[in-house]
Homo-oligomer: A and B are copies of this chain.
Amino acid sequence: MKHLYGNAVVGQSGGPTAAINATLAGVIRGVKEQQGCGPIGTLYGMRNGVEGLMQERLIDLSAYFDSEEKLSLLEHTPAAALGSCRKKLPKVGENDAFFESMIAIFRKYNIRYFFYIGGNDSMDTVAKLSEYTRSHDYEMVILGVPKTIDNDLVGTDHTPGFGSAAKYISVTVQEIIRDCAVYQVPAVTIVEIMGRDAGWLTASSAIGRVVNGIEPDLVYLPERVFDMQRFFADVRASLEKHPNVVVAVSEGVRFADGHYVGEGTQTGATDAFGHAYLAGTGKALELAVKAEIGCKVRSIELNLPQRCAAHLASATDLSESVATGKAAVKAAAEGITRQMMTAQRVSDDPYTIVYEPKDVSEIANKIRYVDDRFINEAGNHVTDACCEYLLPLIQGEAACVFENGLPKHLIL
């Protein structure tokens, strides 16, 4: 195997998570480990993803991370320490000048390794850059490193960042269920959980079932059509069992006609990838239950803490995120390119993961939905199999460092 000697650059893109910095730390660790024996020299970080790369806003991460303490702190810092962006690259063939400017920057810094940590949209960036460099004269290794709380990337058992979000959601829903149990007055509490297309995060609200038997009464995922009349019937049936009904619902649930349940209350804005900003699925259902059933109702939108609550990160997720970053560097140093590093579950008992690169063009712009076998027949809850798939991902409590009562974060 011919080695490609040169420097590397790493970026973070898309929505932040509690674990994306752990993946970054994994890439930094990986580069440090091969230094002296491997082909990669300096590791640069691009600020704000490819946006900052195009402006040459680079930071020498090899120099900055000169201690185990800094790396460990980075692993427990939420959000993207390098900053993020939502830039969509042009299609290959439509704006070659863009790619040529990017390659000019790579040449200037002798960058031959490109690591991009992100979700679905970021893999689109990786796929396009892979495609462009394949047919143009600049040899480089390009690897996608997955991250998304949504767990909706195909080809991988799960995505780094998801386990921590799932842990935050499952713990918080357990606490909300305790809180709701104190009164005797019939009341419905609707918890709105992130997930535009896939219901993995909402499904996580039910993990308690296989741990302590405590779970929401009803769980609605975007994988099933939402029917308001069936929902009312489900809520009424739950209220007959006990007065404190807790419902978990994905922000992305839709009616049979394709309209989002929260559409009436959404902002109408869309992001650079054309995704509608949703807000208000919980609120819409709150108002509907109030009008139809007339009992006490409230809605809770878990909102940003789902993706940034590093104080409650899953230790399993953090260590896997680090391992994914390291595995990406190891693969790159071996010349593997145009791939995304995936996690394959080779055993359930004991839970065992191996890391495996897969062609990024087979991954980008696809969505991995919650499996049919994970959703109950009535479409208003998840199955035991689903909880058992999710449970290993939330194991362990991350050793977040507190100083004077507050978590310590690393700010680059």
Known: A171-B406, A181-B79, A405-B167. A303 touches B305 (CB 8 A): no
Task: Note all chain B residues with C-beta closer than 8 A to A42.
Answer: none
CB of B207 within 8 A of CB of A78, answer no
CB of A183 within 8 A of CB of B300, answer no
Known: A396-B405, A405-B314. A78 touches B304 (CB 8 A): no
CB of B405 within 8 A of CB of A207, answer yes
Known: A183-B84, A311-B175. A211 touches B405 (CB 8 A): yes
CB of A303 within 8 A of CB of B304, answer no
**Distance (Å) between the CB of A70 and the closest chain B CB?**
16
Known: A175-B305, A305-B175. A79 touches B403 (CB 8 A): no
- Judged by a CB distance under 8 angstroms, whether A184 is at the interface is yes
- The complex places the Cα of A388 from the Cα of B216 at a distance, in Å, of 40
CB of A83 within 8 A of CB of B311, answer no
CB of A301 within 8 A of CB of B301, answer yes
Secondary structure dominating the interface of A: mixed
Q: Which residues of A361-379 are within 8 A (CB) of B?
A: none
- Judged by a CB distance under 8 angstroms, whether A196 is at the interface is no
Task: Note all chain B residues with C-beta closer than 8 A to A171.
Answer: 311, 406-407
Task: Pick the residue among B85, B184, B279, B309 that contacts A175 (CB under 8 A).
Answer: B309
- The complex places the Cα of A304 from the Cα of B308 at a distance, in Å, of 18
Task: Note all chain B residues with C-beta closer than 8 A to A314.
Answer: 405
Instruction: Tell me the nearest residue of chain B to A21, going by C-beta.
Output: B178
Output the residue of A85, A167, A290, A406 with the most chain B CB within 10 A: A406
For chain A, which range describes its interface: under 10, 10 to 19, 20 to 34, or 35 or more residues?
Answer: 35 or more
Q: Which residues of A127-160 are within 8 A (CB) of B?
A: none
Task: Note all chain B residues with C-beta closer than 8 A to A167.
Answer: 405
- The complex places the Cα of A207 from the Cα of B403 at a distance, in Å, of 12
- How many chain copies does the complex carry? 2
CB of A406 within 8 A of CB of B311, answer no
- The complex places the Cα of A165 from the Cα of B189 at a distance, in Å, of 20
1/0 contact string of A1-35 vs chain B (CB within 8 Å): 00000000000100010000000000000000000
**Distance (Å) between the CB of A18 and the closest chain B CB?**
8
- The complex places the Cα of A4 from the Cα of B190 at a distance, in Å, of 48
Task: Note all chain B residues with C-beta closer than 8 A to A172.
Answer: 305, 309
Output the residue of A85, A176, A305 with the most chain B CB within 10 A: A305
Known: A83-B183, A182-B16. A174 touches B312 (CB 8 A): no
Q: Which residues of A394-410 are within 8 A (CB) of B?
A: 394-397, 402-409
- Judged by a CB distance under 8 angstroms, whether A310 is at the interface is yes
- The complex places the Cα of A184 from the Cα of B83 at a distance, in Å, of 8
- Judged by a CB distance under 8 angstroms, whether A347 is at the interface is no
CB of A182 within 8 A of CB of B397, answer no
**Distance (Å) between the CB of A173 and the closest chain B CB?**
10
**Distance (Å) between the CB of A290 and the closest chain B CB?**
8
**Distance (Å) between the CB of A336 and the closest chain B CB?**
29
Known: A84-B183, A301-B301. A178 touches B308 (CB 8 A): yes
- Judged by a CB distance under 8 angstroms, whether A212 is at the interface is yes
Output the residue of A172, A307, A396 with the most chain B CB within 10 A: A172
CB of B51 within 8 A of CB of A405, answer no
Instruction: Tell me the nearest residue of chain B to A300, going by C-beta.
Output: B303
The chain A residues found within 8 Å of chain B, CB to CB, are: 12, 16, 48, 51, 77-80, 83-86, 167, 170-172, 174-176, 178-179, 181-184, 189, 207-208, 211-212, 267, 279, 290, 298, 300-301, 303-305, 307-312, 314, 391, 394-397, 402-409
What are 26 pairs between A and B in contact, CB < 8 Å?
A48-B182, A51-B184, A83-B181, A83-B184, A84-B182, A170-B405, A170-B406, A171-B311, A174-B406, A174-B409, A176-B304, A176-B305, A176-B308, A178-B310, A178-B409, A179-B304, A189-B304, A207-B406, A208-B406, A211-B404, A212-B409, A279-B298, A300-B304, A300-B305, A301-B301, A394-B406
**Considering the complex of A and B, which 4 residue pairs feature the smallest CB-CB distances, nearest first?**
A179-B308, A394-B405, A84-B182, A79-B178
